[in-house]
Amino acid sequence: MKQQKKDLSGGLILIAIGLIALVGQFVTISLPADFGLLIVPGLGALFLVWGILTRKAGLVIPGGILSGVGWGSYAIAGPFSIWQGDNEGGVFLIFLGLGFALITVVTAVFTKETHWWALIPGGIIAFVGVSILFGGAFLTVLTFLGKLWPVILILLGISILVGANRHKAPEEKLVTEK
């Protein structure tokens, strides 16, 4: 019964998107100039709702990313945009980072598995956006981190090697005890 309900909601959403796209090719409707900017956040919302209804985290991921990209675009090009020049890139990245954070929040509330990983790229992207938007000390920290990223790779590699040796140790003990 649950699977049938999930299939039904997923199928209806795909049919709705297809019908809107098909009708849009043949029917000219006079819409506000900024309406096109709402298509991507609308798709993001559809994926989020679909993921919530079916409780599938895999659908929430494109929903969060599309929402971040869509609302970021709307924030810098929509009717209420107040940012100019370099600030536009910072605002867009902040919204994209929030879209990734949305993945974690929605999966924590509505699915069995919480996707904590999304906070890592979301946090990095949002920090870069804040750095661009506010500059100053944030941009100095970003420049400093930009030079130190190889250290993170080295530490990660060491961590993997240490973990691999820990897993080998019990096996070696069994061999030596025989």
Contacts 24+ apart (CB under 8 A), 128-137: 128/90, 128/93, 129/89, 129/90, 129/91, 129/92, 129/93, 129/94, 129/95, 129/96, 129/97, 130/90, 130/94, 131/90, 132/86, 132/87, 132/89, 132/90, 132/93, 133/87, 133/90, 133/91, 133/94, 134/90
pLDDT 10s digits, 88-146? 888 999 999 999 999 999 999 999 999 999 999 999 999 889 888 888 787 888 788 88
Task: Provide the token pair at 109.
Answer: 């509330």
Domain boundaries, the chain: 33-134
From the list 117, 140, 112, the residue with the least C-alpha distance to 127 is 140
Name the pTM for this structure: 0.68
Dihedral sign computed on CA atoms, order 50, 52, 57, 61: positive
* pLDDT tens track for 37-72: 888 898 999 899 989 988 888 999 999 999 999 999
